Amino acid sequence: MNRVYNFSAGPAVLPEEVLQKAADQMLNYENSGMSVMEMSHRSKTYDRIIKEAEADLRTLMNIPDNYKVLFLQGGGHLQFSMVPLNLMKNKVADYIVTGQWAKKAIKEAGKYLKANKIASSEDKNFTYIPDLNNLEIDPKADYVYICQNNTIYGTKFNDLPDTKGKDLVSDMSSNILSEPIDVSKFALIFAGAQKNIGPAGTTIVIIREDLLTDELPEYCPTMLSYKIHADKDSLYNTPPTYGIYICGLVFKHLLENGGIEAMYKKNLEKANLLYDFLDNSKLFKGTVEKKDRSLMNVTFVTDSEEINARFIKEATESNLVNLKGHRSVGGMRASIYNAMSIEGVKALVEFMGNFERKVLNEG
């Protein structure tokens, strides 16, 4: 079986061991006589699946006991609404805008509260993370919001903002589980699964318990209440059962392979391989400031749109796929999430070197 090296930003590559395990269990999960896809979410068998997934995630991330873990649906886009609807008290929130997803988040929040843009990097097309010191935090702000890793632009918060005591909310859709974090520094973390965790369709929320409340706006739909889902252990309605099962397999895979610390070491090695090549290339160049480079999404270009297109075409023909940059910025993007092997990155770097020599010789 020939598998390509998949550099997609999401849905993204999954560990082959996880895919094989799921394939082995597809028709008959642990002698239950049925697939997890067919299983009642109220059954004892599935209850064990979802509880083990939560327990393993808590172990991986060292999640404090006063935080709830929720398995939801709707992706990051639904969280853009759920966050303000559940966290607003003074109806004011501060947003640091470092890309399209934060732009969408602040626009959505503005439907429900006063959403302040307290910092932005849009002046240079989001190619850097703005200065996080001496931010003008609104005294009435219910929370400060960041998107910690920006998939489109290839930037990452390497430091957290000084929120002056205000709760910090982070969209970690594309960097969760890629490196150690201190969960206690955040009031709420959310992540769409399709980057670094599991298949599209599952969203994970990690929320401090004191933020769970019944005192929501009367127009807030029941399904958008964090407390409803927390009180029902993510089983208020039928959850994305198979997606959660796959997430659970990924968590076990990570635990069996050294946890987040080991993954971080591999991610640094992969990123350094690619960035070192870019820094020494005569054809390719990175698009973001070095201090703000993402470990997960490496963006780069040449000086020619024609050469960019040729590179993407020839890379695809060499089984290096989904390297085209986001439609809003163009160029190239290599997403090197946890499940992307070091061998895959080496193959990409080798191809880039060969491509560069060929193009330069033609010139």
Report, as residue numbers or ranges, the catalytic residues.
Answer: 101, 171, 195
- 187, 174 in Cβ contact below 8 A? no
Contacts of 34 (CB under 8 A, 6+ apart): 28
Report angle CA 303, 304, 309 to the nearest 5 degrees: 130
Q: Which two tokens stand for residue 49?
A: 């699946």
What are the strands of the beta sheet with 332-335, ordered from one edge? Answer: 285-286, 297-301, 332-335
Q: Tell which residue, 157, 163, 176, 201, has the closest CA to residue 291.
A: 157
Please count the other Cβ atoms lying within 10 Å of the Cβ belonging to residue 155: 27
Q: Residue 189: helix, strand or coil by DSSP?
A: strand
Q: How far apart are CA 344 and CA 341, in angstroms?
A: 5
Q: What six digits make up the tokens of 23?
A: 């394939």
Q: At 230, phi and psi to the nearest 5?
A: -65, -40
> If DSSP codes are grouped into helix, strand and coil, which group holds residue 81?
helix
Tell me the DSSP string of 17-79.
HHHHHHHHTSS-GGGSSS-GGGS-TTSHHHHHHHHHHHHHHHHHHT--TTEEEEEESSHHHHH
Residues with Cβ within 8 Å of 56's Cβ and at least 6 positions away in sequence, in order, are 248, 251, 252, 255
Residue 183: burial class (beta carbons within 10 Å; 0-12, 13-18, 19+): middle
Query: Do 299 and 288 contact (CB within 8 A), yes or no?
Result: yes
Q: Do residues 206 and 189 make contact, with C-beta atoms less than 8 angstroms apart?
A: yes
